[in-house]
Amino acid sequence: MKIIGNAKGQVTGVEVARVDRKRQPIEGTEFVIKADLVLLAIGFAHPVHEGMLAELGAKHDTRGNLLADTFSYKTTVDKVFAAGDMRRGQSLVVWAIREGRQAARAIDLELMGRTDLPR
Ligand SMILES: Cc1cc2nc3c(=O)[nH]c(=O)nc-3n(C[C@H](O)[C@H](O)[C@H](O)COP(=O)(O)OP(=O)(O)OC[C@H]3O[C@@H](n4cnc5c(N)ncnc54)[C@H](O)[C@@H]3O)c2cc1C
């Protein structure tokens, strides 16, 4: 919920709350965990929207990942393709490799009108 600090600007704790199935805080469940160091370990969230993605204006799905199918790998912006974690959400390296290969094929097909790359 928030990081708590003292007048010297030092961290003293973190206020947290239990969440429901939609990861929304449940009122009345807030409590404080004492801490003097806080590391944000949020690598399993969707890609950062601010900056490039916002400027592109590409639509994202309900989980915040870029909207693109697994055949054309096209996003909602012309000539912009997405594959891997950015498209499917946090996953495994093998999926990123597979999607990268398939996206390369889709892009080749789009640019050249034909492709010899395997799907
Ligand atoms: C903590 C952690 C542990 C994991 N452990 C495993 C595991 O044990 N086994 C497994 O199979 N998978 C694991 N994964 C998942 C795996 O790492 C990912 O699924 C995989 O790396 C996704 O590959 P990707 O190419 O789609 O994205 P990434 O590997 O994230 O590559 C995206 C690249 O784009 C760059 N980038 C981002 N924004 C910009 C920008 N605006 N301009 C230029 N470059 C940009 C990033 O710096 C990054 O290099 C783990 C992931 C995490 C976070």
pLDDT in tens, 21-61: 998 999 999 999 999 999 887 767 899 999 999 999 999 99
* Token couple for 45: 């969230």
- For position 76, what pLDDT does the model report? 97
User: Residue 81 pLDDT more than 90?
Assistant: yes
Establish if 119 belongs to a structural domain: no
Q: How many CA atoms lie within 13 A of 57 on its CB side?
A: 3
**Most informative mutation of 81, 85, 95, 98 for ligand 1 (most atoms within 8 A of CB):** 85
Please give the single-letter amino acid code of residue 7: A
Establish if 67 belongs to a structural domain: yes
Distance from C-alpha of 77 to C-alpha of 56, rounded to nearest angstrom: 7
Nearest-atom index, ligand 1, CA of 83 = 26
Q: Provide the whole-model pTM.
A: 0.77
Burial class (CB within 10 angstroms; exposed 0-12, middle 13-18, buried 19+) of 75: buried
Nearest-atom index, ligand 1, CA of 99 = 26
Task: Count CB atoms within 10 A of the CB of residue 4.
Answer: 15
Range of the domain at 104: 43-113
pLDDT (mean) for 17-22:
95
User: Residue 88 pLDDT more than 80?
Assistant: yes
Q: Are residues 65 and 96 in the same domain?
A: yes
The CATH number of the domain holding residue 88 is 3.50.50.60
Determine contact, residues 67/81, Cβ cutoff 8 Å.
no
Q: Which residues contact 9 (CB under 8 A, 6 or more apart)?
A: none
Q: Are residues 57 and 95 in the same domain?
A: yes
